[in-house]
Amino acid sequence: MCTLTYLPLKNEQFIITTNRDESPVRGHVTFPAYHHLESKNIIFPKDPLAGGSWIATTDNGISACLLNGANKPHEYKPPYRMSRGLVLLEAIECIKPDEFFKNFDFTDIEPFTMVVFFHDPELKILEFKWDGVEKYLKKFDSSQPHIWASAQLYTKEAIADRKKWFKMWLAENKDYTIESIREFHKYGGSGDRGNDLVMDRGEVKTVSISHICSRLGTIEIGHENLLEHTLQELILSQHVNQEFSHQVL
């Protein structure tokens, strides 16, 4: 939930890829799995402690990713009323994510950044931040690549480095593919294990890389567990208010 990239494809299709930086002892994440929530089919890797997630997609084409922190590092002040991963699932259930952000009560929820990708009817990207006091909502150009990083785990300098590395990768990669962007998320950096895209600070490290590729009629979602060296992928057929058809690769 700590580094996210977005790549636009033709016809408002896209690839989003995220690295999850977390305690390696937090627990085993079961993936892939889909769940029926509020009359919608949602697929996501489920956090073993809180039951939420940091990345999810639905069969009606809404995808969302969660990052730790908002605009700057915050002090951890438990207990919190609700897990941020459960907030993501609440948001993705709503067919109008911008209305959810305006109306939901975020009191006593730890600060976070959430990025949502959806069609209304054109492809939209909304970045929502909650800093513990104020809400911030920002729109991004869906025709351009973007990168986000956790304000809680990375300094402004480290975030700037990520943007520089991504810009260099974009200059060398004109045809965007899942394989090439996953390589960037796995090997990008300068050799600093504390701040590379796959980072390791001992108590916190990059435990997985996940991606969602939204294409016309299908969604591909993949999850690589870096601790167990496993990669699982799932292809879904997009339907509105219908069941998933799925195939495990």
Strand 63-68 with 55-58, pairing: antiparallel
Q: How far apart are CA 86 and CA 24, in angstroms?
A: 21
Q: pLDDT category, 112, cuts 50, 70, 90? A: very high
Measured between alpha carbons, how far is 53 from 67 in angstroms, rounded to an integer? 11
The DSSP output letter for 177 is: -
Residue 240: predicted pLDDT = 43
**Beta strands 230-237; 246-248: pairing state:** antiparallel
Q: Is the pLDDT of residue 92 over 70?
A: yes
Q: How many beta carbons lie within 10 A of that of residue 160, not counting itself?
A: 12
Integer Cα distance of 73 and 70 in angstroms: 8
Where is pLDDT greater, at 86 or 237? Answer: 86
| Radius of gyration, alpha carbons of the chain | 17
pLDDT surpasses 60 at 17: yes
Peptide bond into 79 cis (omega under 30): yes
Q: Does the structure show a pLDDT above 70 at 242? A: no
User: Helix 178-187 to helix 156-172 angle, to the nearest 10 degrees?
Assistant: 140
Q: What is the pLDDT of residues 52-72, one digit of tens each?
A: 899 999 877 899 999 999 999
Cα separation of 113 and 83, whole Å? 13
Q: Which residue has the tokens 């057929």?
A: 237
Report the pLDDT value the prediction gives residue 38, as an integer from 0 to 100. Answer: 60
CA gap 68, 54 in Å, rounded: 9
The model's confidence at residue 170, banded by pLDDT at 50, 70 and 90, is very high
Three-state SS for 213? Answer: strand
- Which CATH code is given to the segment(s) 3-248? 3.60.60.10
